[in-house]
Amino acid sequence: MEQYKKEFIEFMVDCQVLKFGDFVTKSGRKTPFFVNTGFYRTGQQLRKLGEFYSKAITQVFGKDFNILFGPAYKGIPLSVATSMALSEHFDMDVNYCANRKEVKDHGDTGILLGSPINDGDKIVIIEDVTTAGTSIEETMPILKKQGDVDVLGLVVSVDRMERGKGEKSALSEIQEKYSIKTTAIVTMAEVVEHLHNKPYKGEVIINDRIKEAIDAYYVQYGVK
């Protein structure tokens, strides 16, 4: 596993973004682990987060895109922080763009925040996590409505590695349905590999009991 992935897993633990217990996802699944990017709250945390995303994005998409789109609401700070990191570490001047939940009819009108989207733009979508692909179904029509754009793909922080609406993983379904690339900074398999029965700052984050709960979850919701 690459060093930046290990550092990102520990970063999530430090920021209390990665939690283990009893949770319910947006798609209604009861899950023993949860990733809440709303816990990235400080300027320093967002700066580091942008750096991790920028590494994952450039590995898969290279430098040939000009807009980073963050779906409202959690995608907004992600797109801003990562566009800044791309500028600082990869010498890329990428526009950030996000959508509003409601169309604004006065002042800066329309549904978009940040950069406008025009014909020929090459776009990478940035999200926190995706469980069943619900968010991307709302995002793609917004982007396609703006003009003849090329949506290259989607990057998330953690690939939960579970089924979407069919038998394949949510990221695989998105990849096939929209003919785009998908990637993540880390997968849940990498998280488990790095944290299971390995003390971090004097604490075992994933012990055997939690590992058993994760395994049971994947028996039910994992990719066949």
Task: Tell me: is residue 106 an annotated ligand-binding position.
Answer: yes
State the Cα–Cα distance between residues 123 and 83, nearest whole angstrom. 12
Task: Tell me: is residue 179 an annotated ligand-binding position.
Answer: no
104-112: Cβ within 8 A, 24+ apart: 111/142, 112/146
Task: Tell me: is residue 37 an annotated ligand-binding position.
Answer: no
Cβ atoms of 1 and 193 within 8 Å: the answer is yes
Task: Tell me: is residue 159 an annotated ligand-binding position.
Answer: no
State the Cα–Cα distance between residues 75 and 94, nearest whole angstrom. 15
Task: Tell me: is residue 128 an annotated ligand-binding position.
Answer: yes
Q: Which of 7, 46, 36 is nearest to 200 (CA)?
A: 7
State the Cα–Cα distance between residues 179 and 170, nearest whole angstrom. 14
Question: Which DSSP string do the residues of 102-142 spell out, in sequence order?
Answer: EEE-SSS-EEEEES---TT-EEEEE-SEESSSHHHHHHHHH
Phi then psi for 185, rounded to 5 degrees? -65, -45
ω into 73 cis (within 30 of 0): yes
Task: Tell me: is residue 160 an annotated ligand-binding position.
Answer: yes
Task: Tell me: is residue 135 an annotated ligand-binding position.
Answer: yes
Task: Tell me: is residue 26 an annotated ligand-binding position.
Answer: yes
Active site residues: 104, 106
Task: Tell me: is residue 158 an annotated ligand-binding position.
Answer: no
Task: Tell me: is residue 224 an annotated ligand-binding position.
Answer: no
Task: Tell me: is residue 40 an annotated ligand-binding position.
Answer: no
Binding site members: 26, 73-74, 100-101, 104, 106, 127-135, 160
Binding site members for orotate: 131, 160
Binding site members for 5-phospho-alpha-D-ribose 1-diphosphate: 26, 73-74, 100-101, 104, 106, 127-135
